[in-house]
A and B are shown apart, each in its own frame.
Chain A
Amino acid sequence: MRTSCLHIISLLLPLAVALSACHPIEEFPADNSGNFEALWTAVDEHYCFFAEKDVDWNRIRNQYAPLITADLSKQQLFGVCADMINELRDGHTNLSSGFQTSYYRKWWSDYPQNYDARLIEENYLNFEYSQLGNVTYGILPQNIGYIAIPSFNSGLGNGNIDWILSSMASANALIIDLRDNGGGSMSYAETWVRHFIRQPLTAGYIQHKTGPAHDAFDSPRPITFEPLSADNIIWIKPVAILTNRSTFSAANYMTMCMRSIPGVIHVGATTGGGAGMPITLELPNGWSIRMSAVRVYDSQMHITEHGIEPTAGCAVDLDPAQALQGHDSILDLAITKLSK
């Protein structure tokens, strides 16, 4: 019996030693070349829009790798790496170090801004608007409610939104201004959307990667919102959404969701997109890389990464000449459409 015990233990010991061997994790040295390779690999394995943007990531590597030498300063290395990821043309993709964060700006800088908050606050609301959190709201002279949501970095709860909507109960319609809203949390956008639906809404689809290959994706899953309880305020009158090119990420997502609600019109300029939910990884030297990693589609299974065009007949830019006269041509068009 004692012998059998020793046999069992002598079998268990090497088994335990063998089992303690870890699954391998690819590692790169913390020198210039290693950091460049770590960055290229992280993007290669996680970025989700190579096909949509027709980016040949291997060609990009061959283009930038020869620029990496051991004598590059960290600022120079950062510059080469930032240039490389800017080839993705993605506002959600940033490289961050202790001294700089890279940012691809052309998705909005090549377009007119189409928004001046003071123009509305002064000429349409006469500075007599209310504010709750970062949201400003009031009723326009045409008896149309106006809500400006400048960001989803902070959000309102259902009770807050109930309060805002109930203050506009006498209005005939509602305008939600998402211009210059660069996004934030999708959950905050979802909270708003649920105040405009009376039945479950499949607002879009979401699709994540299942592995490092560029085409390794799970099947798209619906994003379905349930209506709020009867205790909450549900807005059922006409609604217009205003956007400009700086309507990005979670604001683009809210635009996408609202567009799937029948009767909602979308006025202004094409949104900035940002339909890839970003994740963050890091390099051996501690720099972090944020990139689009999860695809979000609209309810028609279109990827909105390149932006959402306004409703037919509702595309308009802010006219600088009219702005000098105190008119916001985008807001004016929305008022006209809702007043019909």
Chain B
Amino acid sequence: MFQLIRKLIILTATLPFAALLSAQEPVRPVSTAWMAEVGSSHLADTYLSPIRYSGMHYGLTYSRLQAMKSPLLPCVQGWDLGLSFDKTRNRAGNATILGARLEGSWRMMRRWHLAKGFQAGVGGYAGAEFGALYLSRNSNNPAQAIGAVCVGPEAFVQWTGKLKKLPLAVRWQLSSPLAGAFFCPNYGELYYEIQLGNRSDLVHFAWPGSRRSVRSLLSVDLNFGRSTLRLGYSFNALSSKANNVTSRRISHAAVVGIVCDLVTLNPRKSDANILPAYY
């Protein structure tokens, strides 16, 4: 009890100084984006079929990015969460592979202001994805699970300026995993056998030789006052090979989204020093 009272006294005594310190820190708005994408999808997974499938790709992504507090290096950090769905057909048009994935990643990048309006960032990310592919007409191999965790470099370049009087930001961001782990059943192994308890050789070390991937987003943010419209083009490519099973997922998609900077401000502080993530 005595210790609790002492802690309360110390906290009360230091509160004004803490408030003073926070008043000197810049406000760091969270750049938040809700994006939807629609495009083409190309899938192949030799566990299900040796034939490539093509069709539609749909996705929803929620993304956050915020400048970090670090006074030494100007860095940004954020995370995103995405849900995607693919519906593809074989060349003959008589079979369908459905795919669904949930993925999330966290990233941190050092950024540089290169020239007036230009900036770039380089850093890394850690991500995970889970999902499945489903080919209904197959007998004992109708589905393939997707599961991976990875880390890798990420970079962006951005130009911020105006088109006539319209503020805009053109950005290209790119990421590629370098290491991690991913799931792949053995060449002829059925999920029935995994269910019986044979779980050896299912998780593989991911490196560019076994699992390589590129995620790219070229976007234009058009600022209409209080809201920002994002238009873009997304390209994702992934290829993996383990246990003589080759998987491939490629998508090209048009992106449309809404971006806004979220700030938590004390209305009594009029001299807030704002440090945005992007602009």
Contact = CB atoms under 8 A, between A and B. Distances in A.
Interface of A: 1-2, 5-6, 8-9, 12-13, 15-17, 19-27, 30, 38, 42, 46, 48, 98, 186-187, 206, 208-212, 216, 218, 221, 223-224, 277-286, 288, 290, 293-294
B188 A286 contact: no
Interface residues of B, number: 51
B240 interface: yes
Nearest to B175: A16
Interface of B: 44, 46, 49-52, 90-95, 112, 114-115, 120, 122, 137-141, 153, 155, 157, 174, 176, 186-190, 192-193, 196-198, 208, 212-214, 216, 237, 239-241, 243-244, 246, 248, 250
12 contacts: A2-B112, A20-B213, A22-B250, A23-B239, A25-B246, A208-B187, A208-B189, A210-B187, A221-B197, A224-B197, A284-B92, A286-B92
Contacts of B192: 186-187, 277
B168 to A, nearest CB: 21
Residue among B213, B244, B248, B250 having the largest count of chain A Cβ atoms under 10 Å: B244
A43 B157 CA distance: 50
A277 B196 CA distance: 14
B186 A23 contact: no
Contact of B212 (A20, A206, A218, A283): A20
Given A12-B153, A46-B188, A294-B190, A281 B50 contact: yes
A279 B114 contact: no
A48 B188 contact: yes
A26 B241 CA distance: 13
Contact of B248 (A5, A12, A23): A23
A282 B188 contact: no
Contact of A208 (B46, B115, B188): B188
Contact of B91 (A6, A25, A281, A286): A286
Given A12-B153, A208-B190, A218-B186, A19 B213 contact: yes
Contacts of A290: 139
B93 A286 contact: yes
A9 B52 CA distance: 33
A206 B239 CA distance: 30
Nearest to B114: A2
A315 to B, nearest CB: 31
Contacts, number: 144
Residue among A13, A23, A24, A224 having the largest count of chain B Cβ atoms under 10 Å: A23
Contacts of A209: 186-188
Contact of A16 (B51, B95, B114, B174): B174
Nearest to B209: A23
A309 B44 CA distance: 43
A16 B137 contact: no
B176 A280 contact: no
A210 B186 contact: yes
Nearest to A17: B214
Q: Which 4 A-B pairs have the closest CB atoms?
A: A286-B92, A209-B188, A22-B239, A280-B138
A34 to B, nearest CB: 11
Nearest to A212: B244
A206 B193 contact: yes
A265 B250 CA distance: 56
Contacts of A2: 112, 114-115
A187 B90 CA distance: 30
Nearest to A209: B188
A19 B140 contact: no
A223 B237 CA distance: 39
Contacts of A282: 49-51, 90, 95
Contact of A20 (B46, B92, B186, B214): B214
A38 B49 CA distance: 11
A210 B94 CA distance: 29
Given A19-B213, A212-B244, A277 B176 contact: no
